[in-house]
Amino acid sequence: MKALALPARWRRFSVRRTLLTLVLPVMLGAVGIELALTWGTALQAANSAYDRSLLGAIKAIDSNVSTETGGLSVEMPYRLLEFFELTASGQVYFRVSTEDGLVEIGNAGLPLPDQPLRTGVPRFIDAEYFGAPVRVGAWARELDAERPGRRMIIQVAESTNSRNAFSRALLMQAMWRDLLTVSVVAGTLALVIGWALRPLDRLRRDVEARAEDDLSPVDETQVPADAAPLVRAINHHLARQRELIDGRRRFVDDASHQLRTPLATLATMVGYARREQDPERLAEVLAALKGQIDDTVRRTNQMLALARADTAAVAMTPLMLDRLADRCARESWPLAREQGIDLGFECAREDIVVLGHESQLREALLNVLHNALRYTPRGGQVTLSVEVEPGNEGEEGNEGNEGEVEARPMAVLRVVDDGPGIPADERPRAGERFFRGSNVDLPGSGLGLAIVRAIARRHLGDMHIAAARIDANGLERGTAVTLRLPLQAASENPAALKAG
């Protein structure tokens, strides 16, 4: 479900202003609805109260109607009508007539209800009389109880000024009450929001007061629970910044450590070459100098590759891992022939697609192949294989890996050699910077497997190191380096993917 996005201009508002901007219209709308309902209720209450007065006047007139002479006569209760005019705050009208209209006393033409009157049941309507709004009460009864069939109608009307004033007074009271309530609620809301945001303001001051190099985690227990995820995200970002800075610091330290000795050796050899007069000895010195320079260049390139694998941003694209592995195997064949080693390539199936960075994966695989070819004795075998595993089986061995890889189909690159292997107690350290096994005597920097592990982690995979096989005497022989990478779903058009 997509979250509701606020307009861009609202994102610059404070939380207090945003909440008040959103809440106040809702409250005012509710007040408007409440006032409309109050107005209806006030009118109903006013009509109910004043209609009872109209009915009282109608019954007072009815009690003074006489039909004894055979006609219709009314002795008007003037005091009652005067009092009724005072309470009505306006003109009062009355009409007494027969239903057929032949006899009529009082104000002629008072409007009657649209529906016929029921005997003994009062009816009240709003109407106009000579252009003025009035409230009319009408009452019908039998003219002579002994001779039913003839009815008389009594009507009393009053101006609506008094009842309208009463309704407006009730409405104004409700309006002022509601406005006071809205003001109190808005003020309270603003104060409560300010109080609730005090921990964030304190957090801001604490962060501003920190030293430039202070990347320690922010205490999330001092902020409201709603802000804790934000603080955790900030701490996660600070942790990544610490790792980045530590990586750069380690790179500088490693570079100074790894390059100081070779550069000092080069300076000594150059000085010796300048003093040497014998051409044969000079040629030997230059050859040694060339070898030292090559070794220094390789170490420098490896350190730069490790720095890129640790920190550089990479764009991941779908690529064919089987084709990339085939290409790396072909690139390594000249070194294998030079070393007298049988280099083989096996692929369980075609179109093994992973999401990765081609140059980094190529560098990782070439490093593994270079190590295998370099430490495998002449006449030995090195095999590069590519296959697919249904999920992570959690093999034991090198635990340079952090956490568990998700149990999902994995693409597997495995390089197996006949070399001296890595002692079992030293395998957990394989992949650390500048670590080299105790059973090897060839020169090296100890960065190759560190580069491989860093690249595997950047691709959400892992590196695992184990013995290649167990001989008849139960001894471990050779080394098997395994890279696992998350397998991607094959594209509908595999030819469009990078072949590597």
Q: What is the mean pLDDT of residues 54-78?
A: 73
pLDDT at site 499: 40
pLDDT in tens, 295-322: 677 667 666 666 666 656 667 888 888 8
Residues in the chain, how many? 500
Q: Determine the average pLDDT of the residues in 460-485.
A: 82
Q: Judging by DSSP bridges, how do beta strands 317-320 and 104-106 pair with one another?
A: unpaired
- 470 or 384, which is more confident: 384
pTM of the model: 0.47
Model pLDDT, residue 263: 74
Instruction: Give the HSE-up count for residue 176: Cα atoms under 13 Å, Cβ half-sphere.
Output: 5
The average pLDDT across 365-391 equals: 86
Q: What pairing do the DSSP bridges indicate for beta strands 381-389 and 342-347? A: parallel
For 33-167, CATH number?
Answer: 3.30.450
- Across all residues in the chain, what is the average pLDDT? 76
Residue 135 in contact with residue 51, Cβ under 8 Å?
yes
Residue 269 has a pLDDT of 77
How is the chain split into domains, by residue range? 33-167, 237-310, 314-496
CATH superfamily placement of domain 314-496: Histidine kinase-like ATPase, C-terminal domain (3.30.565.10)
- In contact, 65 and 72? CB cutoff 8 Å: yes
- pLDDT tops 60 at residue 292: yes
- In three-state secondary structure terms, 166 is helix
Q: Which two tokens stand for residue 78?
A: 């003037």
pLDDT at position 105 is 80
User: Is residue 288's pLDDT more than 70?
Assistant: yes
1: pLDDT strictly greater than 70: no
| Cα gap 477→155, rounded to integer Å | 120
Task: Judge whether residue 494 has pLDDT over 50.
Answer: no
What is the per-residue pLDDT across 116-164, written as a single tens digit (0 to 9) for each?
A: 888 889 999 888 888 888 888 998 888 776 667 778 888 888 887 777 7
Residue from 415, 413, 352 nearest 386 by CA: 413
Question: Could you give the strand order of the β-sheet that contains 342-347, starting from the edge strand earlier in sequence?
Answer: 342-347, 381-389, 410-417, 476-486, 462-470
Per-residue pLDDT reduced to its tens digit, 95-120? 888 887 777 888 888 888 888 888 88
Helix (H, G, I), strand (E, B) or coil at 211: coil
**pLDDT band at 210, cuts 50/70/90?**
confident
- Alpha-carbon gap, residue 452 to 440, rounded angstroms: 19
The pLDDT tens digits of the residues spanning 316-360 come to 888 888 899 999 999 889 888 988 998 888 887 778 888 888 888
Give the mean pLDDT of 387-398: 58
Q: Please tell me the distance from the alpha carbon of residue 491 to that of residue 444, in angstroms, as a whole number.
A: 41
Sign of CA dihedral 319, 324, 326, 327: positive
- Specify whether the CB–CB gap between 186 and 198 falls below 8 A: no
